[in-house]
Amino acid sequence: MSARILSLFLPRLASDLVRRRARKVSEPLVLVARRGRGEVVACLSPAASAQGLRCGQSLSEARSLVPGLTTRPYDPALPRRALQALRRQALRYAPWVAVDGEDGLVLDLTGSAHLMGGEAALCADMAQRLAAMGIEARIAVAPTRGAAWGLARFAPGPVTLAEEAGAAIAPLPMAALRIEAETVAGLARLGLTRIADLGRTPRAPLTRRFGPELMMRLDQAQGVLREPVAAPAETAPHAVRLSLPEPIGTSQDVMAGLTRLLERLCRRLEREEAGARQLRLELARADGGRAEAEIALARPMREAAAMAALFERAIDALEAGFGFDALRLSAPLVEALPPAQLTGGGGTRRGGTSPAQGGARSGSSEALADLMTRLGNRVGLEALIRPLPADSHIPERAFLSAAAAFTEPPDGWPRPGPADGRPGAVRPLVLFPPEPLDAPALPDPPRHLRWRRQALTRLRVFGPERLTPEWWLDDPLWRSGVRDYWRLDTLEGPRLWIFFTPQDPGWAVQGEFE
């Protein structure tokens, strides 16, 4: 049986996805990417193409040609995710489907096209489904992958079915061979613009001049060299199912069934040295309805008893109706969790292997992760945040907030040296937006000042520490220029972190020492 390869080309995938998400977007539309020191058109809509714009064109040139141009930033991750989703959907047509570059798919239809009524019916169904999604597509079927690729991109029609590869690609331009643009330009200087021209030219001189890739691509397209479709291996989902002979409705029965499912799932996770970060329980009612319970975990786990306890609150809130007759437990998010050697106390054996949940974590960190899991399933893991150190000398930018469940705690916080050479930190733990200080606008720290309706007297001062604004960031709070920071202890008790702005003379308080 001769091979039959389908190439699916999505010329405007990124812009089609943007238009699909936005639903209403002004035309003509182009997606702009940063390249070197300027911005270029990375993808464009059909209306933009009709105006004479093209990919790779500079944005300034495009705006001069089309003043009312609508622009959106180009996100390369968006089409990559879409291609993976389309690859899974294309498995309905053939068992071997792979992503082909950044703008298409390749399918090995050998022996499977008749299941869809033939190649023409299969291509029509594929084109109709993509059109319903708002995605422009070009499809070609040929005996070789190279021929299908070239026909999908350079044939005149949106759908091409070729029985013989060599004759089908002969009138196509050289770019249809999947060769570099420099090679295409070099061949054009020799007067070779069509693939048919290569058949009338000696191979040896072309190989010496352009390298072996040119003839290799030609042989692949004509079927002299085989080029199989290397589809990625499908990974079985982390899911287990339980069908019941009689419907169940009580929380205790559901928990018993869930425990059996968790034990089966955890055995597989242990074999794969993995742990679940998210679990979803789907329950099918006897009347055809469905219910669902889901939990998120702050650390990868594979301990059935601990994970079952986290489901109790969600299961108690389920509406059983006429009862549940099937349960399905899945782990949509799984992370590596290899066993590790543990030492020390906390209920673990010295020199033994890790318990079922595994991982080289101390008891305190595991207890904190379990606490975050319990709280996160009530308020959401994203609501639990922790500060992390940031690379900035500006006080309010020296940290950033991140979700605690998805980040590791910092090894340590950088402590700046004292401003006057004495021991002690110069940055307070309590920071707040700068508050005006009622004091003379002189560079020396004031002896008498007023802050928050309190009359204060200077006891001792340490400093100064001069901080300069980060010129590459425009922060309105730092437009007054440099600041000279001082630590000021008062007779009345408060220990303040104050600063003076020489450009706009004045004092302010930004923190308080404990």
Read out DSSP for 276-334? EEEEEEEEEETTS-EEEEEEEEEEEE--HHHHHHHHHHHHHT---TT-EEEEEEEEEEE
Domain 5-154 is in which class? alpha beta
State residue 443 phi and psi, 5-degree precision: -65, -25
At 364, the pLDDT band (50, 70, 90 cuts) reads low
Q: Which residues contact 469 (CB under 8 A, 6 or more apart)?
A: 394, 475, 478, 479, 481, 482
Q: Are strands 5-9 and 430-436 parallel, antiparallel or unpaired?
A: unpaired
**Distances from the Cα of 323 to the Cα of 252, 283, 316, 380, 421, angstroms:** 13, 9, 14, 29, 73
Q: Could you report the per-residue pLDDT of 44-98, keeping only the tens digit for each?
A: 888 888 888 888 888 888 888 888 888 888 888 888 989 999 998 999 999 889 9
64-78, 308-322, 334-348, 409-423: least confident range: 409-423
Q: Could you report the per-residue pLDDT of 376-421, keeping only the tens digit for each?
A: 767 666 677 777 777 777 887 777 777 676 667 777 666 654 444 4
Q: Could you report the per-residue pLDDT of 91-132, keeping only the tens digit for each?
A: 999 988 999 988 899 999 998 888 889 999 999 999 999 999
C-alpha closest to that of 89 among 20, 26, 177, 10: 10
pLDDT at 339 over 90: no
Structure tokens belonging to residue 110 = 């050998």
pLDDT at 354 over 60: no
Question: Could you tell me if 381 and 296 are in contact, meaning their C-beta atoms sit under 8 angstroms apart?
Answer: yes
Give the model's pLDDT for residue 105.
93
| Residue written as token pair 């990919």 | 55
CATH architecture of 239-336: 2-Layer Sandwich (3.30)
H helix or E strand, kind and range, residue 150: helix 145-154
Structure tokens belonging to residue 199 = 């058949």
- pTM of the full predicted structure? 0.56
